[in-house]
Amino acid sequence: MQEATVSTETGTHDPVEDSRASFIEHLTELRNRIVIILIAVTAGFAISWMWIEEIFTFLLIPLQDAARANKIDIDSAQMYHRSLTEHFFVLLKTGVYSGILLTIPVSLYQLWKFIAPGLYPDERKVVVPFVVMSTLCFLFGSAFCYYLIMPYAYGFLLGFADNITKPQLMMTEYLDLSVKLILAFGAVFEMPIVTTLLARIGIINYKMMLDFWRYAVVLCFIFGAMLTPPDLISQLLLAGPMMVLYFISVGCAYLFGRPPAEPTPPEEAASTP
């Protein structure tokens, strides 16, 4: 992070120091940002509700494609609900999730506005690239999950159906699993953006990430096992992109982050009072 100062007739001042706020002011600012995000999500929910049945049907497509690919009766991929109210509440949750997805750019922009006062003016100029790239990365990760992971994973799970047993799929469980997968992949694909931000403010650097790569590979497989259905291919389909994104993040930290601090020579350290 480049330490920029502004010269005046009376000396110099630091823009970051000038923008420091009290703890109460930080809480007030955070509250205002959260309120704006909630208003945006509510608006996104209202828009989504007009096409809520179509949105839920869109979520069913990977399941139906998986059923056809496995030559399973498409009726086995139909949804059921346990009570009179479950269908309504599932659609309500679908609308909330859709509202959150629609307002990702707004949420990211509000996050940036909250942390921007702690950055120098030249670093604040990346707000538009940050919001655009974060949104694109999340959408790409979600699409990767929807078009590749979900059909394969659901096909694997439906493959256990036979002439004796048939799946009775519940709306709530299907929605929760699908949303968990989509959000997980969208969040994972944000790794280069988050790494770049942390590297620019000096929290991490590329050398730290290179030293940590073996542990990162293990963590990728652990997250892959936690977030995907229990088959090896689905786990690899998440762990593989995570490992690739990790090394892309190392490159981002190298290109855009602060250079690692040089260690102090022992002679200088000994002479320092």
pTM: 0.76
Residue 26, classified by CB atoms within 10 Å of its CB into exposed (0-12), middle (13-18) or buried (19+), is middle
Q: What is the end-to-end Cα distance of the chain in Å, rounded?
A: 28
What is the CB neighbour count within 10 angstroms for residue 13?
A: 12
Per-residue pLDDT of the chain (273 residues; tens, 9 = 90+): 444 444 444 555 555 455 455 678 878 888 999 999 999 999 999 999 999 999 999 999 998 888 887 777 665 557 788 888 888 999 999 999 999 989 988 988 888 888 777 766 766 777 778 788 888 999 999 999 999 888 888 888 877 766 667 777 888 889 998 998 898 889 889 999 888 888 887 788 888 888 888 998 999 888 888 877 766 777 787 888 889 999 999 988 888 777 766 655 555 545 555
pLDDT of residue 2: 45
pLDDT of residue 139: 92
pLDDT of residue 96: 94
pLDDT of residue 55: 93
pLDDT of residue 258: 72
Query: Parallel, antiparallel, or unpaired: how do β-strands 6-8 and 11-13 relate?
Result: antiparallel
Query: Parallel, antiparallel, or unpaired: how do β-strands 169-170 and 79-80 relate?
Result: parallel
Buried b (16+ CB within 10 A) or exposed e, 28-40: eeeeebeebbeeb
In the numeric block, which tokens belong to residue 104?
A: 């990702």
Specify the residue for token string 């469980």.
173
Containing H/E element for 195? helix 191-200
What is the CB neighbour count within 10 angstroms for residue 56?
A: 21
pLDDT of residue 42: 95
**Which residues have C-beta within 8 Å of that of residue 133, sequence separation ≥ 6?**
193
pLDDT of residue 30: 86
Separation in Å, CA 10 to CA 4, 6, 16: 17, 11, 18
Instruction: Single out the residue of 233, 61, 76 nearest to residue 151, CA to CA.
Output: 61
